[in-house]
Amino acid sequence: MGRISRVFSKQGAVDVEAIAAALRPRFALATGAEKAVSHTWLDTFDWRLHSAGISLDYIDDGPLAMQFADGTRLQGPLPAKKWPAQVHDLPAGRLRDALAPIVTPRALSPVVTVRRAARESRVLNEDEKTIARLLTESADDGISQVQVQPLRGYDAASDQVARLLARVDGLTAVTVTPYDLALTCASRRPRDYEDNLAPHMRSETPAAVAIASVLTQFAAVINDNVAGTIAAIDTEFLHDLRVAVRRSRSILKLAGDVLPANISEQFQPEFKWLGDLTTPVRDLDVYLLELDSMAAGLASADPRDLDAFRSFLVRHRAAERRRLVRGLRSRRFEELMDG
């Protein structure tokens, strides 16, 4: 596993000849062929990898690369199925094992894809040994990236390479990761879903306005999670939707009297309906998520003895999920969210 890469950015295309000139005479640059690539970064809906300082990405057909905050890297093959995918959909190996405790039970989905002209070059010392890889992703009309990836045992020499690159006109050393640079290029902001989690209020805000603001924020959270719930991307979409519903019901019950007349009476039954609609699938999700650990604790039976019970839960969940999806696509739900 390599150590942390040095990252540089540049507005516009990267001049590889200028980089090679800056490295001479201390180092030589063996330039690779340039090719058009699609570079994709993955994360969960709630940005668990980014929050942990981890990037997960692949170029074209792979491999999948995971880089930790300390610069260590793991690689593994792409899953056979298309994204979004659960961690257990990835091929077995160290990368999957490292992702599981961070991501589960959320699914991995593409967050940003950039298309650039990419080149992998080798940095050689005076003995013509490769001491680092130089990765460039060049965009004529956007932000280009240059990374120094040290090879094992050549950290000090790679530091020299990075210092020389800092002298190249237009190259700027950055403290953010290539993942962050790609997000900036795509005008994406990490953890943007959190905008709907914390209402902005002041002490002088009227009570009715404050309660309405809180309910509006909860409604936004519900709407943010509807598509993922319907598509069954992962079980947390429904969980987060239900939390927002439950909090909406609590606010209406405890503080609904500060709202205009009949507002609380109008919406309380509708949010109860939504809570009742979503309960069966969530209960079955919990059963299925915990079934393996419960089965492993059996003392006088084999875990496989619960296979028939698992099949029953799966069939029952499928039926309840169809009812849930119909409800979330219904006029009643649409009118509740528009209200």
Percentage of the residues of the chain whose pLDDT score is greater than 70:
96
Banded pLDDT at 1 (limits 50, 70, 90): very low
- What letter represents residue 101's amino acid? P
Q: What is the pLDDT of residue 312?
A: 98
pLDDT per residue as tens digits for the range 151-207: 989 989 999 999 999 999 999 988 888 899 899 888 888 877 666 566 677 778 899
Q: What is the pLDDT of residue 194?
A: 67
Q: What is the pLDDT of residue 196?
A: 58
Q: What is the β-pairing status of strands 109-124 and 73-76?
A: unpaired
Q: Where are the domains of the chain?
A: 6-185, 192-338
pLDDT per residue as tens digits for the range 89-98: 999 999 999 9
pLDDT per residue as tens digits for the range 209-265: 899 999 999 999 999 999 999 999 999 999 999 999 999 999 999 998 898 888 899
CATH of domain 192-338: 1.40.20.10
Among residues 35, 182, 36, the alpha carbon closest in space to that of 113 is found at 182
Banded pLDDT at 26 (limits 50, 70, 90): very high
| CATH homologous superfamily, domain 6-185 | Hypothetical Protein Pfu-838710-001 (2.40.320.10)
Cβ neighbours of residue 71 closer than 8 Å, sequence gap 6 or more: 2, 3, 4, 5
CB atoms within 10 A of CB 333: 18
